[in-house]
A and B are shown apart, each in its own frame.
Chain A
Amino acid sequence: MKLILNEEQNYLKETALSFVSEKTPVSHLRGLRDSDDQLCWDKEIWSEMVKLGWSGILIPEEYGGSNFGLTGMSVILQECGKTLTPSPLFASGVLGATALTKFGSEEQKQKYLSKIASGELTTALAIDENSHHNPNICELKAIKDGSNYVLNGKKIFVVDGASADIIIVVARTSGEDDDVGGLSMFLVESDSNNLKKVKLDMADSRNYANITFDNVSVDETMILGEIDMGLEPINEILDVGRIALSAEMLGSCEKAFEITIEYLKERKQFGVPIGSFQALQHRAAEMFCEIELTKSAVMAAMQGAEENSNDLQRLSSLAKSIVGETSHLVSNEAVQMHGGIGVTDEYDIGFYLKRARVAETILGNSTFHQERYANLTGF
């Protein structure tokens, strides 16, 4: 496993950087927030991303994608993270595309994957039921009724759930609340009868929803994968998502750090740039080291996924955990080192702090992944 990007991946990364710098600086997210945009992302921007082929990177060529791999997708998200660019790329291009590519029937792939690639539809993954991510627990039930399944229960904090056309729902089809063997996945159209979405207002101004299933009936052809497939295969999707999200969070850390270092060079007090003070220099240098370690962990997880590493679960948890911790450090220090303007809404750095915390909770925060890593390693 080489911990470097190849030429094509570097090219993708550069393309993404110039795209987000030009089209979606932080003022883009600010504009969506200030106009109380209910979508929380921009359709024009999304269609340009689709034209660049980003939505199809994890989709096989026969279904309209480029099958370019998770590293390519992750470096794009890393650059999106630098300007906090909102889009359905993570929920649809990563989670939806991965779930359908790995577990979809031929018919489902034909029907949905090309539409994900073309941006015609977007997806969301509904898994959490509590304030903390814990895929072991699932109370939402799907009960067989003839050739249909009837879903009852509630999913919360569904990323892009307020806008997605297709909701991929993890549901219990057998066993009790924490029996991970009795879990199955269903594709549910978001305009289904008895499905109720409530958009959430979160600190990072992105798109989330709570979704209630009150006798939602789905045809058995909408089962994704096997009935009672259990958590193991579902975790494969989650790990791909965790790695891609880690890359996005890394990008945000890198940029918040860069903005802060620039500020230390410009801002003068006592007649000198505050960056000349050793008290700040050493904290900046420590952040640099932590970011370097984080880059390595994220890179190893991306490359591990490309190579189907048998250590992927541990690498995924390492990346998500470390990037969460580094996000804490960098976002807090970034605000502190900016002084007064750091806590004003007018200045962008606060957006990085808010996004860092919300992103950390998605698909498991640092302590969740520390525990998982430890159990997998035998600590």
Chain B
Amino acid sequence: MSDLENFRVEVKDWLDKNCPATMRAGAPADTPIDEVWGGRKAVYKNPDSKLWLDRMGEKGWTMPTVPKEYGGGGLNKEEVKILNEEMFAIGARAPLLSFGIWMLAPVLLEYGNEAQKREHLPKIIKGEIRWCQGYSEPGSGSDLASLATKAEDMGDHFLVNGQKVWTSYADKADWIFALVRTGPKEPKHSGISFLLIDMENPGVSTKPITLISGKSPFCETFFDNVEVPKENLVGELNAGWTIAKKLLQHERKFISNFGLAAGMGSKKDVVSLAKKHFGEDEGKISNPIFRSKVIDHKMKEHAFGLTLQRAADEGGKASAVASMFKYYGTEHNKRRHELMVAASGVNGLAWDGNEFDDSEKNLTRAWLRTKGNSIEGGTSEVQLNVISKRVLELPSG
């Protein structure tokens, strides 16, 4: 047997022994479901969620390509493919959702020093520390580089003062990676640093923001004379903007993929909703005007999915492509939810109570939540600016 075939046997065997029955396809219908984000404050409805996370974290398989010395799986691309296939084959649940994995870890691998990699990567991979992102500020949205949260050099530490906003799940996170101003006299892009801050430090506080969807995935985060060790600076002093841009690409790619994936796997898609509420005529959505909108939408979705595939086949190129995916993916996701709500009629606008089922109430909130997709992580307009300038090389105004 080849090494890869051996590896497949090992993986199958390991998953068979280590993936709990409630964490895979065929779990009892009444199994409580956790969205596992890990961290010091994590609470589990199902103890198997924690067990599954610990076992996968120990193997380093939550970030299988990261070298073993940093707690990763140390696998090559072919091995990762096998791992994914075997996990897919048994319908294994994702052991860990993590901004640490999606955003911070790639940046630490590229810009972090040896000590930072050894300190932070294993904890991200094991899900011991939950991270959040401190970028936007009340006065710095699309013009992110105007940010004002300052970190003063106090000799042996930085003293951080200021406010971040739209920090996802800050109230549940343990650490925050933040952009801070360390060069107040420098041009705005050249005075920013990338700092890692333990949120248990005195002076850090958070306050959830209630969205139009009724949920509170974002917070305001306040820094009031917070002392941060010098060793928590990633990269050079005042060189944080480069890192920030790199990280935004990871974020944009993630947001656009997430929007699409959420739509494609779901059974409650716009076609079935339209057939349910408008009725069917020989297998066709019976309202012809709505049907034509659905067709147009689904064909664009097909082409967008093929474009994600093509970008992967091409080896994933420039940053501007991330902007295209972010722009198109989030706008498409908004249109998809608008169509689902429209297809459902009154039942697509339910808020609460027992007259509507959960999927209907969830749809209303999901629809409202998508309105933020094209704002967070750089607005659609900012993405179009990036495409204009970096890809099309159109002149600045």
Contacts and interface: CB of A to CB of B under 8 A. Distances in A.
Contacts of A373: 295, 299
A143 B309 CA distance: 50
A378 interface: yes
A282 B292 CA distance: 27
Q: What is the size category of the interface that chain B forms with chain A? A: 35 or more
Tell me whether chain B's interface is mostly helix, strand or loop, or mixed: helix
A296 B295 CA distance: 18
Contact of A370 (B296, B309, B394, B395): B296
Interface in A301-332: 318, 321-322
A272 B4 CA distance: 59
Contacts of A272: 395, 397
Interface in B368-389: 381, 383-385, 387-389
B392 A273 contact: no
A374 B294 CA distance: 9
Interface in A268-321: 272-273, 275-278, 280-282, 284-286, 288-289, 292-297, 299-300, 318, 321
A228 to B, nearest CB: 26
A281 B394 contact: yes
A23 interface: no
Contacts of A282: 381, 384-385, 388
Contacts of B307: 292-293, 295-296
Nearest to A299: B310
Given A272-B395, A292-B307, A370-B292, A278 B327 contact: no
Contacts, number: 112
Contact of B295 (A3, A275, A277, A370): A370
Tell me whether chain A's interface is mostly helix, strand or loop, or mixed: helix
Nearest to B271: A379
A163 to B, nearest CB: 35
Nearest to A281: B388
A294 B306 CA distance: 10
Interface stretch (B18-26, B124-132, B189-197, B283-291): B283-291
Given A4-B314, A379-B291, A277 B302 contact: no
B384 A299 contact: no
A265 interface: yes
B216 to A, nearest CB: 32
A147 interface: no
A32 to B, nearest CB: 33
Contacts of B285: 379
Contacts of B298: 374, 377, 379
A292 B299 contact: no
Given A278-B397, A289-B328, A374-B295, 20 more contacts: A265-B393, A265-B394, A265-B395, A273-B395, A281-B389, A281-B392, A282-B385, A284-B394, A285-B385, A285-B388, A285-B391, A292-B324, A294-B303, A295-B307, A296-B303, A297-B306, A299-B306, A322-B300, A322-B303, A379-B285
16 contacts: A3-B314, A261-B394, A265-B394, A273-B395, A275-B394, A288-B392, A289-B328, A289-B387, A295-B307, A296-B304, A297-B306, A318-B299, A318-B303, A322-B299, A370-B295, A374-B295
